[in-house]
Amino acid sequence: MSALFEPITLRETTIPNRVWMAPMCQYSAEPEGPAQGAPQDWHFVHYAARATGGTGLILVEATAISPEGRISPYDLGIWNDTQVAAFRRITRFLAGQGTVPGIQLAHSGRKASTDRTWKGGAPVGPDAHGWQPLGPSPVAFADGHPVPDELTVDQIMEIVDQFVAAARRALAAGFEVAEIHGAHGYLINEFLSPHSNHRTDAYGGSYENRIRFALEVVDAVRAVWPDDKPLFFRISATDWLEDAGWTVDDTVRFAGELHAHGVDLLDVSTGGNASGVRIPTGPGYQVPFAARVKTETPLRTAAVGLITDAEQATKIVANDEADAVLLGRELLRNPSWARHAARELGDAVRVPDQYHRSV
């Protein structure tokens, strides 16, 4: 068996292989009404196809813990029981295919209230289902974006409680893995980075203060997420800024803190918190960040970033650069990527009975 198709057990959850689906927003939920934020037929088909294609773990896209925590009016949410019931249809099917269902719990912070990406992703106002964004400091993400309202301490505590309620609902919806979204310039990432966090109270200034909110969320979620189920954290390992930003050294230091607070795996991405930044991309360009965390801390990692072929993915896991790979665009292009990779590597191919002719 190749390293890519070895099972991995985190706490008491066994994931059948190391080919995982990264969270990718579909911007396809209803923006208002009784079904606001609930997964629709598109979401079911989208995730079901990757499960029948052999993906070991599917992390459902950034799912907002509150209406104002959405990136766009069309985001998924998990702040009410209607949403929970709709998610159960997805998690039940994924589990039935042998895929572990996971969910990314998110608050978009100052990057909230924007249009769908294929329509440009510009900020939208109340006439297009928009709202006023919130953030750690009154600092806009970019020119043309609104200045967010600075969160009060009471509001910060309320958001921690919303993460807790969302985690409870995620469990009721049948998810086996919960991931806290601390990357890509959304709220938790905004608190971590001095580029976006200009506070002078206990949540800003020093490194210890800037990580406070993130650790409060982790502690609160870990307290209600079952001990036998893993908790992930997604991070942007660097802001890609020369100075005044979050760095890979900060990430390594923070990874040790996350491990001590009960996080089981760091999902390592980069960027998203500063506009206009030039990122040097290329095959596997973010893998070294995951590898450094894995080498220098006890925390397990998953790698992302232009991982496109089976041999490349296998080497990442076999060389101990990461414990798993998270595929994004490749799984959009080919829902059965895992099945094709297994065949290419000579591993057992997991195929639904209905597709036995394809073996």
- C-alpha angle 252/256/257, rounded to 5°? 115
**Helix, strand or coil for residue 60?**
strand
Rounded to whole angstroms, how far apart are CA atoms 335 and 318?
23
The residue among 324, 321, 314 whose CA lies nearest residue 293 is 321
Active-site annotation holder among 47, 186, 207, 355 = 186
Rounded to whole angstroms, how far apart are CA atoms 243 and 273?
13
The residue among 265, 267, 258 whose CA lies nearest residue 286 is 267
Q: Give the H or E element holding residue 20.
A: strand 19-21
First to last CA, the chain: 18
Rounded to whole angstroms, how far apart are CA atoms 77 and 71?
10
Going by the DSSP 8-state scheme, the letter that residue 348 receives in this structure is: P
Going by the DSSP 8-state scheme, the letter that residue 240 receives in this structure is: -
Q: CB neighbours (10 Å) of residue 207?
A: 13
186 included as an active-site residue: yes
Contacts of 122 (CB under 8 A, 6+ apart): 114, 115, 144
Do β-strands 265-269 and 231-236 pair in parallel, antiparallel, or remain unpaired? Answer: parallel
**Helix, strand or coil for residue 297?**
coil
For the chain, counts of helices (H) and of strands (E): 11, 13
Inter-residue contact 289 to 251 (CB < 8 Å) = yes
Contacts of 157 (CB under 8 A, 6+ apart): none
Inter-residue contact 112 to 73 (CB < 8 Å) = no
What burial letters (b/e) apply to 219-233, b meaning 16+ CB within 10 Å? ebbbeebeeebbbbb
Which residues are known to be catalytic? 186
